[in-house]
């Protein structure tokens, strides 16, 4: 009898990846260009990374696009970012195909009316049965999401709830919990990102600024994730 070849262990693919896209302005300073150009290149990088995630068959990606704290930035930067959101909404509409869809999650009412309306229309068109999902956390904060969930349940007359009931009251209710959270830019914290959903996420912090993030870095993260043992208290 011929000796059988050892069976190869199947590659572990995360269902959902969260990304804190940090370092846009620092990248711009290093390049000697205006800070707003870093944001523009950051959006270009997002489109690239989404393609890499599709190639790896990652079905859900949630990105931290604009936090509740970001509203305190200088007014000229806020104005630029709002224009970039308008452009992003149009560009992401082009990304919506039979196998891909987009969702916006956060306190969307804080955006200018036209942006809020565009995001809500995108959410209404979102296909639940799409293969690939992009979740854009915009005007989002993990604590704000929890408070909003509590207030929603209180308004429904709830006084005692289960974890599952609470999860269904959140902005991210339809989104899977991230298996991985990646933060670029060198910082080692989550900064109020998916606070409820991140309790069992595997964390990866990379020094590369977001616009310079490379496909090889993503591949290294996916390989490292596959080697981690996720016991979840067991």
Residues labelled as active-site residues:
22, 70
| 102: enclosing H helix or E strand | strand 100-105
Q: What crossing angle do the helices spanning 35-55 and 75-95 adopt, rounded to 10°?
A: 30
DSSP class of 96: -
- Name the CA dihedral angle for 114, 116, 122, 124, rounded to a multiple of 10 degrees: -120
> Distance between alpha carbon 24 and the CA centroid of its chain, in Å?
16
């Amino acid at each position: 009898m011929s000796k059988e070849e050892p069976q190869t262990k199947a590659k572990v693919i995360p269902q959902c990846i969260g990304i804190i896209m940090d370092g846009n302005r620092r990248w711009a300073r290093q390049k000697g260009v205006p800070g707003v150009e870093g944001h523009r290149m950051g959006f270009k990088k997002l489109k690239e990374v989404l393609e890499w995630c599709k190639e790896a068959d990652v079905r859900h990606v949630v990105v931290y696009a604009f936090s509740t704290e970001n509203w305190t930035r200088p007014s000229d930067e806020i104005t630029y970012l709002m224009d970039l959101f308008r452009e992003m909404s149009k560009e992401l509409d082009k990304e919506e195909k039979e196998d891909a869809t987009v969702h916006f999650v956060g306190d969307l009412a804080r955006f200018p009316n036209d942006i809020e309306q565009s995001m809500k229309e995108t959410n209404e068109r979102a296909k639940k049965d799409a293969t690939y999902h992009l979740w854009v956390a915009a005007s989002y904060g993990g604590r704000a999401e929890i408070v909003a969930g509590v207030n929603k349940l209180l308004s429904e007359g709830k006084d005692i709830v289960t974890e599952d009931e609470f999860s269904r009251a959140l902005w991210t209710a339809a989104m899977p919990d991230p298996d991985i959270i990646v933060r670029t830019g060198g910082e080692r914290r989550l900064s109020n990102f998916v606070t409820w959903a991140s309790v069992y996420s595997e964390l990866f912090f990379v020094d590369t600024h977001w616009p310079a993030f490379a496909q090889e870095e993503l591949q290294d993260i996916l390989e490292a994730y596959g080697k981690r043992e996720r016991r979840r208290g067991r």
